[in-house]
Structure 1
Amino acid sequence: MYDIKALYEAESVPHAVQLLVEHPEAQIIAGGSDVLVQIRDGKRAGRELVSIYMLDELRGVSLEEDGALRIGSLTSFSHITRDPLIQQHIKVLGEAVDMVGGPQIRNIGTIGGNTCNGVTSADSASTLFAWDAIVEITGPEGVRRIPIQTFYIKAGQVNLRPGELQTAIIIPKSSYEGYKGHYIKYAMRNAMDIATIGCSVNVKLSADKQTMEDVRIAYGVAGPIPMRAVHAEEKAKGQPVTEAAIKAAAQAVLEDIHPRDSWRASKDFREHIAVVLAERGLREAIRLSGGEIHA
């Protein structure tokens, strides 16, 4: 059923790097919810696999000394949703990954696997873009940290060099402190479906709750990779919390997104939904921040 040439079990991160160097054509396997399906379908048949599933050092959520949230790449979606630090600081990420597949997939699927796939429809991706996440990568030359915006190169390809693996996702304190966010997944079904389009919105209000001090809007399936709606963000920043400002910012996302026609939805429909989701996301993020929208 599964055409696998060889399976190597990593005993530590350095050992995983060593195995990847020794077997340059090998594919990393974590939870296996994507890789095993691809092997069964023949897309990765006959590959060598390096399993990192037993590396507990890559699991869990913690606070670094500077207050940044560190999410180990092997942390499952279910763990992220329930984690107290996620619930306290970036609850929206837990809500986003809780929309991935069904319970079985969320129990085995990992945040690292979800992002390393490089697909624009990953439910975690747009939210991580909205939080200005940093991706930690470990390889033969040591550890490097890069913005998630540069981690995604093109559809299905991420910035991993030979011998490297993703070891963590970092959310800087400056990216989450004072912000509230909301993620909306639009799909044809309520469960077990890939997003037709996904929108994640973060808002930081002024102390008096009257002004949108900062806004971040990110999308999945609005282009070949996840993306930020930078024109819409600039349109909203510094504006009063009003219906007009929200609608103007939502409309501005059309300057940033690049959806395509597919069997799931047309380009025009995706553009329409993108505007609607931005408006809804802004409204809910403002509400979560304690703001009241004025006419």
Structure 2
Amino acid sequence: MYDIGSFYEAASVEDAIRKLQEWPDAEIISGGSDVLIKIREGKLAGRSLVSIHNIAVLKGVTMEEDGTIVIGPGTSFSHITAHPLVQQHIPMLGYAVDQVGGPQIRNIGTIGGNVCNGVTSADSASSLFAYNAILELTGPEGIRQVPIQEFYTGPGKTVRRHEEVMTAIRIRRRDYEGYTGCYIKYGKRNAMEIATLGCACLVKLSWDKKVVEDMRIAYGVAAPTPVRCPETEKSVSGQAVSNALLLQTGKGVLNEVNPRTSWRASKEFRLQLVEELAKRAMAQAIRNGGGEVDA
């Protein structure tokens, strides 16, 4: 049984904001794959729900004139994976969200819910970190844009205010053009599994594919929130593609993460994953960009 206080179907973003102001205990619901589970488990028992599921402007993937890709937070994982713009320009994100749950979850779960849930294990989060995504939040005072690196404040916590609705996820052209990437999720099962660790790596290679002009690497479950490794990124950028560079990357990221022990894995095991997945993800990202590496 689901202990729900009240339910309201918002007709627009403005309508949702108004109702959130009226109901200080309300939760936003779209696909419901996270919220309904928490209600069933008693964590959100008795809460009122404001549904944004049928607000059309929150769905879809578009490209603006300057090349910015705009993803509606109400877009399901399966639609993101299959969208031509995603496949052509940001395929790593499409692959990452295709690792969420099973087909049923991916058909109802939304990327906005995945991000706003605030958990470090969200499969979309590390890829969005690598793409320097900008999150658009709309509330009573208007619209504000928050870099995703500033969105997470702690385990399950974000800067989104109660009365705000996420209205767009934006990825600028300069943050995807020329980059190829790889996302690796490690779990104990091949499907329907929450990540024990997730690693997203983007590389931009030189014209001859011999030099890493720029590299970005981000993790989920390697810290209380999703995290980038800026010092390692700086040390790698401008260096020649080589196995030694992969080893350097694997060692470097260990200084920028802080995984914890949980029932899924120990801190020590996660640190092994951090190092190994860095090497594997970077090697595949290089290959995807036309470079050659042995590891």
Matches within 5 A, 1:1-295: 1-293=1-293
Structure 1, unpaired ranges of 5+: none
* CA displacement 1:120-156 (0-9 Å, x = unmatched): 0000000100110100100001111110011111110
Residue 36 of structure 1 aligns to a residue whose secondary structure is helix
* CA displacement 1:95-121 (0-9 Å, x = unmatched): 101000000000000000000000000
Segments of 4+ moved more than 4 angstroms: none
Q: Whole-Å Cα distance in 2 between the matches of residues 22 and 288 of structure 1?
A: 50
Residue 47 of structure 1 aligns to a residue whose secondary structure is coil
- Deviation, 1:293, is 2.6
- Deviation, 1:165, is 1.0
**Deviates most, 285-294 or 140-149:** 285-294
Identity percentage over the alignment?
59
Residue 121 of structure 1 aligns to a residue whose secondary structure is coil
- Deviation, 1:162, is 3.3
- Deviation, 1:231, is 2.0
Residue 225 of structure 2 aligns to a residue whose secondary structure is coil
* CA displacement 1:234-254 (0-9 Å, x = unmatched): 121111001111210121000
Q: Whole-Å Cα distance in 1 between the matches of residues 282 and 48 of structure 2?
A: 45
Q: Could you state the TM-score of these two structures normalised by the residue count of structure 1?
A: 0.98
Contact 1:17–1:165 (8 Å) recurs in 2? yes
Residue 138 of structure 1 aligns to a residue whose secondary structure is strand
Aligned length: 295
Q: Whole-Å Cα distance in 2 between the matches of residues 219 and 185 of structure 1?
A: 10
Q: Whole-Å Cα distance in 2 between the matches of residues 194 and 79 of structure 1?
A: 21
Letter of the 1:55 counterpart: I
- Deviation, 1:57, is 1.0
Contact 1:241–1:294 (8 Å) recurs in 2? no
Residue 48 of structure 2 aligns to a residue whose secondary structure is strand
Q: Could you state the TM-score of these two structures normalised by the residue count of structure 2?
A: 0.98
Cα pair distance change 1:156/1:294, threshold 3 Å = closer
Q: Whole-Å Cα distance in 2 between the matches of residues 265 and 118 of structure 1?
A: 20
Residue 6 of structure 2 aligns to a residue whose secondary structure is strand
Contact 1:71–1:168 (8 Å) recurs in 2? yes
- Deviation, 1:294, is 7.2
Q: Whole-Å Cα distance in 2 between the matches of residues 199 and 289 of structure 1?
A: 18
Contact 1:202–1:217 (8 Å) recurs in 2? yes
Letter of the 1:248 counterpart: Q
* CA displacement 1:83-102 (0-9 Å, x = unmatched): 00000001111110100000
Q: Whole-Å Cα distance in 1 between the matches of residues 5 and 162 of structure 2?
A: 19
CA RMSD of aligned residues (A): 1.0
Q: Whole-Å Cα distance in 1 between the matches of residues 147 and 212 of structure 2?
A: 24
Q: Whole-Å Cα distance in 2 between the matches of residues 55 and 11 of structure 1?
A: 6
